[in-house]
A and B are shown apart, each in its own frame.
Chain A
Amino acid sequence: MPYLVRRLGFYLAALAVAITINFFLPRLLPGDPAATILGTSAGKLTQDDLQRVRDALGLSDAPLIEQYGTYLVRLTQGDFGVSYTYFPAPVTRVISNGLIWTLLLGGISLIFSFILGNLIGVIGSWRRGGVVDTVFPPLLIFIGSFPAFFLALGLLYAFGVQLDWLPISHAYDTKLSQGFNLTFIGSVAQHMVLPAGTSILLGMGGWALGMRNVMVSVLAEDYVTMAEAKGLKQLRIMFRYAARNALLPGVTGLGVAIGSILSGQILIETVFSYPGLGFLLIYAVNGRDYPLMQGLFMMITIGILAANFMVDILYTWLDPRVRAA
């Protein structure tokens, strides 16, 4: 499939650019990057400290191109160095712990907001001017206008602190040992309600409005009128005929949505101390843990590129025209 091959080529190029950004960013700082980095935080710094930061970032006196080569070799070996804040754990292990939680939280948020949002869009466009159509869109736009962290704090305050219904931090009860049993899974689910709820509330509006606007056009198509004239069941026309075609632009948006869900998730994870990649990223930045920071940016980028590629595959499956092109 040449289409998918082209997309794959693009993502590889994007990955190369992300790697290059990661490599050059610390080197673009004026003067000695290590001193600049430490200088913003530290009072007294020894030659030792400087050297350690230089090592961590792969900075040396060698020519830039040679440093870049060393950097690439280290990357292909999966060597992101050792985290400062989680010393002596290697960055890769810290990241893989966080990755599970981010995927779990992000995946569940995405699935629920996609389904709920599109459902509201379909029903709203079907009964235009009805309750669903007049109440939800403005409400969802308003909720979507809140910064992710603010909504997260609001839910945390209401349901976690005031009502005390749900746990307000971490991904599971730390008193439990991790394992595949009902108590542990229940604890994980309980801890997920608030962070995932925030993400779903924020994400739903975009899907609902997008779906509604596409449905408005699709419902005007002749084949929908034809289906009505044939006397097909309303639900069948609604979902099998109209919504199915109206879903396509939404699937294209899925790739971008994954990026924005993840951005919101950084803030949400931070508010709920949810141990995913976003929480780790902020933790690394505050702790000036440069190896971890760089590794996380790399990992998040790879994740988003992979997700986008999966969306492309999904798209070729849903829309035969792409395959033919």
Chain B
Amino acid sequence: MSTATTIPTSQRNSASWLSRLGPIGTLLSSTKARIGLTIVMVFVLAAIFAQWVAPGDPKKFVGAINKPPSAEYILGTNPQGKDVFRQLVWGGRLSLIIGFGSAFLMTTIAVVVGMIAGYYRGWIDDVLNFIMNLFLVIPALPLLVLLSAYLKPGTATIVFALAITGWAFNGRIVRAQTMSLREKDFVAAAVVSGEPGLKIIFVHILPNMVNIIVGGFIGAVIYGIMASTGLAFLGLASTQDVTWGTNLFWAQNGGALMIGAWWAFLPSGLAVALVAFGLALTNYGMDEITNPRLQAESMLRRVAGDLFARSVRATPVVPRTHEPTA
């Protein structure tokens, strides 16, 4: 942040240290994003190192059913007599793979379709925009339910179905941004120098909308995790897999809540909520950095103090002093 002249020294130091990390550093300069990413990383690391965090087979029957948390079983056992802690950690692995995997697919489709539509305009845009609007109005969850009723349940099916139903939202945002970027001089220069359209799209325009794409990706991960958990809870995913959703499905199936075995429920549900919350916080943090008005607001508060900022209705826009990455 080069507009840091009025910010106390301690903050300036940390800001310049962070700015050396590039875009990730910029992101980390937001408190919201830092908290959000920390929460998400805890779950990601636990999922990666599952065999050390929670050694043992999560599907194994370990003993008496519905045992409350104890020294032996940190989070107790579920109605099927399985270790809840193991299920939580191992379930995170597959849930996160589904979430990130489907988000990757969704974002790829959204970027390709959205950018081509926004760049070429004309009939190509008409057709692609129609398809995007179509996927936006056709209800996602009912279609997902229908797809999973016909297709063989499995991780690949879920990822595929999520990608099909969820890409259009970001596609439209990418399209809008491409339409405004294509009017810039650097695009005109590339066109005049005779570069092919696809190269202009992906080499020149794409790097300028990384923020939007990353934001969309994060939203897509949230959608992927939430929707797959919902489907699994409804019993529409493969019930043999261990995911946060199937954990909740089995807990519900065994009537855990009705007999008061809250420990079979809370961990997996809370994990989904925390990951989604962490990702949402990261997105809001990113918004604050990239939206000049929100940025001005936090700066105003830092500089002028809470009292003053509160009495000011309008927020000035701070001009962006750092150049966008070209």
Shortest CB-to-CB span from B279 to chain A, Å, is 8
Residues of A in contact with B (beta carbons under 8 Å apart): 10-11, 13-14, 17-18, 21, 25-26, 28-29, 37, 40, 127-130, 141-142, 144-150, 153-154, 156-157, 161, 213, 216-217, 219-220, 224-225, 228, 255-256, 259, 262-263, 266-267, 270, 281-282, 285-286, 293, 296-297, 300-301, 304-305, 308
Q: Which residues on the A side are within 8 Å of B222 (C-beta)? A: 145
A286 touches B294 (CB 8 A): no
B137 touches A156 (CB 8 A): no
Known contacts A40-B152, A153-B265, A285-B149; decide if A147 and B226 are in contact (CB<8 Å).
yes
Secondary structure at the B interface, as helix, strand, loop or mixed, is: helix
Contact pick for B315, options A25, A220, A282, CB 8 Å: A220
Q: Contact flags (1/0) for B264-297 with A, using CB distance below 8 Å?
A: 0100010011101100110010000000011001
B145 touches A216 (CB 8 A): no
Q: Which residues on the A side are within 8 Å of B313 (C-beta)? A: 219-220, 224-225, 228
Contact pick for A146, options B137, B147, B257, B273, CB 8 Å: B273
Residues of B in contact with A (beta carbons under 8 Å apart): 130, 133-134, 136-143, 145-147, 149-150, 152, 169, 222, 226, 229-230, 233-236, 248, 252, 257-258, 262, 265, 269, 272-274, 276-277, 280-281, 284, 293-294, 297, 301, 306, 309-310, 313-315
Q: Which residues on the A side are within 8 Å of B314 (C-beta)? A: 219-220, 224-225
**8 A-B pairs with the lowest CB-CB distances in the bound complex, closest first:** A263-B141, A220-B314, A145-B276, A145-B277, A150-B269, A146-B273, A145-B273, A285-B149
A157 touches B257 (CB 8 A): yes
A21 touches B143 (CB 8 A): yes
25 contacts between A and B (CB under 8 A): A10-B133, A13-B130, A14-B137, A14-B138, A25-B147, A26-B150, A29-B150, A130-B310, A145-B272, A145-B273, A146-B276, A157-B262, A216-B315, A217-B293, A224-B314, A255-B137, A259-B137, A259-B140, A262-B141, A262-B142, A263-B141, A267-B233, A281-B142, A285-B149, A308-B137
A282 touches B134 (CB 8 A): no
A149 touches B233 (CB 8 A): yes
Contact pick for A161, options B230, B258, B297, CB 8 Å: B258
B145 touches A147 (CB 8 A): no
A147 touches B230 (CB 8 A): yes
Q: Which residues on the B side are within 8 Å of A267 (C-beta)? A: 141, 230, 233-234
Shortest CB-to-CB span from A62 to chain B, Å, is 21
Contact pick for B130, options A10, A21, A150, A266, CB 8 Å: A10
A225 to B284, CA, bound (A): 28
Given contacts A156-B257, A219-B314, 14 further A-B contacts (CB under 8 A): A25-B147, A127-B310, A128-B310, A149-B230, A157-B262, A220-B293, A220-B315, A267-B141, A282-B234, A286-B235, A297-B142, A300-B139, A300-B142, A304-B139
